[in-house]
Structure 1
Amino acid sequence: MPSPFRRPRRAQGRTVAALCRWRCRHGRAPDLFRRGRQRACRLSQRLADDDPGRRPQLHASRGRAPPARCLAQDRRAVRSLILALALVAAMPAGAETCLRGVNLSGAEFGDLPGKVDTDYTYPSEQAIQRLGKLGMSAVRLPFRWERLQPQLNGSLEIMELAYLDQTVRRIEEAGLVAIIDLHNYGYYAKKQLGSAELPAAALADVWGKLAQHYRDRPKLVFSLMNEPYDINSADWAKIQNTAIAAIRKAGAKQLLLVTGTAFGGAHSWTSDLPVGNNGRDLLGVVDPLDRYAYDFHQYLDADYSGRAPECSAAAGALKGIDDVTAWLKTHGRRGFLGEFAASNRPECLTALRQMVTKLDASPQQWLGWAAWGAGAWWPADYVFNLDPTPAGERPQMKVLLERFKAKRPTAVCGREAKP
């Protein structure tokens, strides 16, 4: 979700050289929805119609560059098959439930440091219980690194950790799997991960401490970082490996979600981009337990940014899901679609239904998905709002409810399996 940078012009159909002119604003000025609840009206449909550039989903343009050369030779294909079989065999019986649910926003909102229930909020028990009763199995919970660890390499902040603990407990009591998501885009207080100011060890430190704190909660899923966007893909793989090593050293055995750079878009996963090639370089992710999946995000609007109600790029988005499914199958990996959304326009609801149907049709490749976006602080007319209206569930949620009730088993998460 929202990233504080200037949106470049749409790059779809351009050459790699043209993509290299992609410019981001590194000043990291606070984006609209991080200014507290009192300004939430800025995210409304009314302003979207007047100024599409002011949507809260401030992702970069995600054009498709020419695909990279296929890396798999016959020998590597055999190795991938062996790896896939070993990965499934290594998973304990019933290691995960099928992860189908929504993102539950609030804790990632507002200026830093912010005041809880004024600038940002954690979801209420009632909101969580409602989601559990709808038949879903997972909730992705975004939160901010700077609030949880106010000083780099320092202790976790007691009250913020208590809020996170309480929310995780409520999610589990509702019969759901909590996916805790470090929603920071590869930054901490305007410092970029991988720089001298913010080395990979900093991410390893916070996740090592979270892993030690939560290692006895096996149902929890750790999502290492939301949508890093301007970090080289090979460097990003190494940074995540450092965090994974710290998590496993702490004795935590939870399922991990790793992502690619360039926002982790499915549509550009195997493309050569200015920041590298995720499909090539993210194969370098290493987990001693082989208990991880790749977190992809995919929106339907013209530049795949998720800040407009139209869905003119639905065909490209659906092709991106197909391409990633093939990539996962080829390399014996697993995926999770951590963000996607649609407005209530009929053609967008059709694309939404097609997307989740594709995911559920490839259970050996996809652990599941989490749609954007639920949360009490979203304006009533926010185009991706999944909270109910006085008249009942929104059209988007009705589409998802069809899938929540279709409990299909998968290779590593089945109907009877409990994490």
Structure 2
Amino acid sequence: MKRAAAVALLAAALLAAGSSFAAPLAWRGISLSSAEWGEQQPFPGVHGKDYVYPSVASTAYYQAQGMNLMRVAFRWERLQPALMGELQPAELARLRKFVDGTTARGLHVLLDPHNYAAYGGVSIGQPGVPVAAFADFWRRLALQFKGNPRVQFGLVNEPRQLPTETWAEAAQAAVDAIRKTGASNLITLPGNGYTGAWSWFESTWYGTPNADVMGRVHDPLDHMVFEVHQYLDKDGSGTHAECVSPTIGVERLQRFTAWLKQNRRRAILGEVGGGANAVCEQAVAGALQHLQANADVWTGWLWWAGGPRWGDYFLSLEPDGGKDKPQLRWLRPYLKD
């Protein structure tokens, strides 16, 4: 059989099996993006103009679909205007309003400092942004939310432009600082180089591979999972509406899944998405079925993205005039208990 025909048959089989393949994973949700926006304006910008937080009411739509985890993005610099300083009261109140209101609905919230392991454009570990400052930030944030078991701590979004060893050191310092507060909340740990599942073993463009370093980071409570992101377009950036093939989702996750099993670790797919077309539909279905088939190491997934200001962004799941976006239909078999 020719390769193209074989791929098509495999994709069709995966898609057809979607609704009965396996029980949904523990976590199914979406990244709500908007409170980290405005970096192109004079920073930190004006709340309500340059950036906003998603509303608690908007989460009802996603909850009704069967989602149970909302990842909320924000900026470290806005929440802590001076390194090692107090959290900014008004910004903390905005974050708390969303977190408290959303968790009161029975949903879980994953905190997402959307900073790429940098502060003010300077990477952690460089002069001016010591590892200790990142640990201090997480100590303060953990003290604010440790009393809410529905809050999860995502250490940072997509570390980049720093040595993998430095990021591992910073991550360990943050984990230790969180646990010293008495917080037992789930922690999600990204890798370096945008934390791509498909680049976990890379050794050419971001430094030492995550596979060689990140396994050293440990949590004394063993309540931590890796957070990887995986897009299905030609360069894995999530900026193109076209996916490479119907099976690219499975292909880009398989090796990382094997690494999890070998190292007895677990993970969440913190960002995944694809444009509204038939190839991406099959690629996404294959990826989510792969997660379900390996539920011993995969805890869940989050679609990128939602939020109030995306407009016609091709990956947004925000309803348009009361109408569902096409991709929601793909996700439904993986949402309901």
SS at match of 1:180: strand
- 2:101 equivalent to 1:170: yes
| Identical columns (%) | 37
Q: Tell me if the contact between 2:76 and 2:119 (Cα under 8 Å) persists in the aligned partners.
A: yes
Q: Give deviations 1:301-358, integer Å, cap 9, x for gaps.
A: 1111111111126645422211111111111000000011111011111111111111
SS at match of 1:298: strand
Q: Which residue in 1 is equivalent to 2:301?
A: 369
- 2:273 equivalent to 1:341: yes
SS at match of 2:304: strand
Distance 1:355 1:170 in 2: 32
Query: Which residues in structure 2 correspond to 1:177-188 (within 5 Å)?
Result: 177-188=108-119
Q: Which residue in 2 is equivalent to 1:329?
A: 261
Query: Which residues in structure 2 correspond to 1:127-138 (within 5 Å)?
Result: 127-138=58-69
Q: Give deviations 1:236-282, integer Å, cap 9, x for gaps.
A: 11110011111011111111001111100011112223311101100
Query: Which residues in structure 2 correspond to 1:13-412 (within 5 Å)?
Result: 98-111=26-39, 112-274=43-205, 275-312=207-244, 315-379=247-311, 381-390=312-321, 392-405=323-336, 407=337
SS at match of 1:103: strand
SS at match of 2:231: coil
Distance 1:316 1:394 in 2: 22
Deviation at 1:394, TM superposition (A): 1.2
Deviation at 1:197, TM superposition (A): 1.3
Runs of 5+ consecutive residues of structure 1 not aligned to the other structure: 1-96, 408-419
Q: Which residue in 1 is equivalent to 2:13?
A: none
Give the letter aligned to residue 27 of structure 2. L
Distance 2:334 2:35 in 1: 27
SS at match of 1:125: coil
Deviation at 1:390, TM superposition (A): 2.9
Task: List structure 1 runs of 4+ shifted beyond 4 angstroms.
Answer: 313-317
Q: Give deviations 1:211-233, integer Å, cap 9, x for gaps.
A: 11111111110000100112111
Distance 2:294 2:108 in 1: 21
Distance 1:388 1:192 in 2: 36
Deviation at 1:155, TM superposition (A): 0.2
Q: Tell me if the contact between 1:181 and 1:223 (Cα under 8 Å) persists in the aligned partners.
A: yes
Superposed CA RMSD in Å reads 1.4
Size of the aligned set, in residue pairs, is: 309
Structure with a larger share of its residues in strand: 2
